[in-house]
Amino acid sequence: QVQLVQSGAEVKKPGASMRVSCEAPGHPFSGYLIHWVRQAPGQGLEWMGYVNPKSGGTNYAEKFQGRVTMTRDTSINTAYMELRRLTSDDSAIYYCVRRDIGFLGFDPWGQGTLVTVSS
Amino acid sequence: AIQLTQSPSSLSASVGDRVTIACRASQGISTDLAWYQQKPGEAPKLLMSAASTLQNGVPSRFSGSGSGTDFTLTITSLQPEDVATYYCQQFNSYPFTFGPGTKVDMK
């Protein structure tokens, strides 16, 4: 059973950058995409974009373009999401999720990484 | 972007009740829809893919239906462990938008 293991909680200052990692231990990156979804406190789910671990190709939500970069390191089966120029509105739980190409669902989800942006 | 609306936004029901949650898309999305269950403090869990395909391990009291713009998630006999927020998500076109969620609790 594939699991996604994310990095730990972070506290950032406004204007700083954050980077969250997402590892699939023991499972090579192949045949699927890693998407990123965030959830602000008490709010709903927001799709941010994806990285194709095999090709490195990306697709970002328009809202985050210019501020987000999604990458991967296939040698360690890990994906990364970097978000820059943080504001308090970026305080949220960030999830990485797997989507098998062509599958109409996100599964599994990482455990989530809480990022707090505060001065 | 395709917008998803859900109704109701919240509901209270008793053990054993039949619960129905609706999800409507702003344009036709065939059956390119998933449903998730999220319990407090947990990551969402995939319940249903392709509008009506029950995922392994999900109790059979959950079912999904619909195509085009109107979809439904039904719990035939509500159990205490079903208290959660339920989200629909469309996979028809990017960005992969989510509905705003329906919170289900026990009466």
Q: What is the mean pLDDT of each run of 10 residues along chain A (119 residues)?
A: 93 98 86 95 98 95 98 94 98 97 94 98
* Residue A30 pLDDT: 75
Ramachandran assignment for A63, one of left (phi > 0), alpha (psi -120 to 50 degrees), beta (any other): alpha
In three-state secondary structure terms, A90 is helix
- pLDDT, tens digit, for every residue of B62-99? 999 999 999 999 999 999 999 999 999 999 999 999 99
The reply to whether residue A106 touches residue B45, judged by beta carbons under 8 angstroms, is: no
Q: Is A116 exposed, middle or buried (0-12, 13-18, 19+ CB in 10 A)?
A: middle
Cα(A31)–Cα(A28) distance, integer angstroms = 9
* Residue A25 pLDDT: 87
Q: Is A55 exposed, middle or buried (0-12, 13-18, 19+ CB in 10 A)?
A: exposed
Q: Which residues of A touch B (CB under 8 A)?
A: 35, 37, 44-47, 59, 61-62, 95, 103-112
Instruction: Tell me which chain A residues have a C-beta less than 8 angstroms from the C-beta of B46.
Output: 105-108
